[in-house]
Amino acid sequence: MSDESAKLILGDTAISALETPPRHGRRFFRRKKDERGPLTHCENCGTSLSGQYCGQCGQPAIDYRRSFRHVIVDVLDSFLNWDSKFLVTIALLIVKPWKLTNEFLGGRRVRYVHPLRLYLLASILFFFAASFGAKSMHIDTRTKRADLPPEAKAKLDVAMDKVPSDTRAEVDAAMKKVEEEKDQPVIQFSGDKQPKSPFEKWMQERAKEKFGEHGTKAQAFLVTLLSNLPYMMLCAIPLFAFVLKVLYIRKHIFYIDHLVYALHIHTFAYVAVMVICFTTIGLNRVAPNISGLVLGLLITAAVFQIFFSIRRVYRQGWFFTLFKFFFGGLVYLIVLSVALAATFLITIALPS
């Protein structure tokens, strides 16, 4: 039988199988790792590939059946490329936040990190730092003398005997005042110090449970509240975009464009607050004399950056931009206050 006749009868696949030399040795699942070239057809629908994605079904042209060495190389390449995009995005966000929004809305997106991904990363870092600061913060939980163990009471009495009489009278008065304050409820809702409405009574009971009878659990409650704030802020961003939509309704801008700017400007706010806090902490240790001046300059620069970003993104004159900056900021401040109060109530209401 000639080669042409065999190919017509058996087909190319059978001929290649017959002509392939036998493989010796056994491997797991009786399959040997073959060196595979780049994909030429989609593994899902069989369409010929002309790029990184299938033009028919959209499946990525990725061959997952490769050696672990190739997988590691691809992961590192993706990470380094994303890292370079992240550095470029952060630098532009700090220096010119308006340009980052205009670039993204103008279609030049491949060189920058996606706004939602950038916001989530900045939000995680910001609230992690805030939670860490709350955990390390010292909250005064002074204990009454009656709550001390007998040994501590004896040591306190011996120390008080060594104090002059006039100074001891002042110390006794201060300790008595502290004990009176410790006997008071954690949160007062009315002038007579007794809750009147059922809501105030419920709040009093929940506050005692969350804060502790004498505020001993206040730090844990603060940490829990901070852990709920990221969800609150994520819900507040669409509201901020809605405020912008109302302020610039005559410009006929899509809501999604306002949302992109809202994500960018909140990310800038997070990064600015972190930079300001870390800079102030460092200056307080190195040069405390100029820390206040630098703090004021940084806050002023951050506010002006937000103002300039609104003007450059929405392209209006100074007067209208200034009016909408203050009016929109006031409205959004009210929205944040309501959202913060709701988050506080939810944190109080949730079981410990």
The neighbouring-strand residues paired with 48 are: 41
- Give the pLDDT confidence score for residue 41 in this predicted structure: 81
Report, as an integer, the average pLDDT of 313-338.
92
Handedness of CA 242, 247, 253, 259 (dihedral sign): negative
- Give the pLDDT confidence score for residue 262 in this predicted structure: 95
CA distance 156 to 145: 9
Q: Could you tell me if 42 and 57 are in contact, meaning their C-beta atoms sit under 8 angstroms apart?
A: yes
Residue 221 reports pLDDT greater than 50: yes
CA distance 336 to 342: 10
Residue 150 reports pLDDT greater than 90: no
Residue 258 reports pLDDT greater than 50: yes
Burial pattern 220-229, b for ≥16 Cβ within 10 A else e, equals: bbbebbbeeb
- Indicate the pLDDT class of residue 191, thresholds 50, 70 and 90: very low
- Give the pLDDT confidence score for residue 275 in this predicted structure: 92
Report, as an integer, the average pLDDT of 194-201.
68
SS3 53: strand
- Give the pLDDT confidence score for residue 333 in this predicted structure: 93
Treating both helix axes as pointing N-terminal to C-terminal, what angle do 255-286 and 218-247 enclose, rounded to 10 degrees?
A: 140
CA distance 177 to 183: 10
pLDDT tens figures, 273-283: 999 989 988 88
Handedness of CA 85, 91, 94, 96 (dihedral sign): negative
Q: Could you tell me if 133 and 222 are in contact, meaning their C-beta atoms sit under 8 angstroms apart?
A: no
- Give the pLDDT confidence score for residue 45 in this predicted structure: 86
Phi-psi region of 139 (alpha: psi -120 to 50; beta: other; left: phi over 0): beta
Q: Could you tell me if 305 and 97 are in contact, meaning their C-beta atoms sit under 8 angstroms apart?
A: yes
Residue 220 reports pLDDT greater than 90: no
Q: Give the alpha-carbon dihedral of 53, 58, 60, 64, to 10 degrees.
A: -140
- Give the pLDDT confidence score for residue 319 in this predicted structure: 92
What predicted TM-score, i.e. pTM, was given to this entire model?
0.65
Report, as an integer, the average pLDDT of 18-30.
46
3-state secondary structure 263-280: HHHHHHHHHHHHHHHHHH
Contacts of residue 240, Cβ cutoff 8 Å, sequence gap at least 6: 262, 266, 332, 335
> Which two tokens mark 238?
């669409």
Residue 294 sits at the vertex; the CA angle it makes with 292 and 296, to the nearest 5 degrees, is 70
> Which two tokens mark 315?
């392209």
pLDDT tens figures, 294-310: 889 999 999 999 999 99
Strongest mean pLDDT among 10-19, 69-78, 211-220, 322-331: 322-331
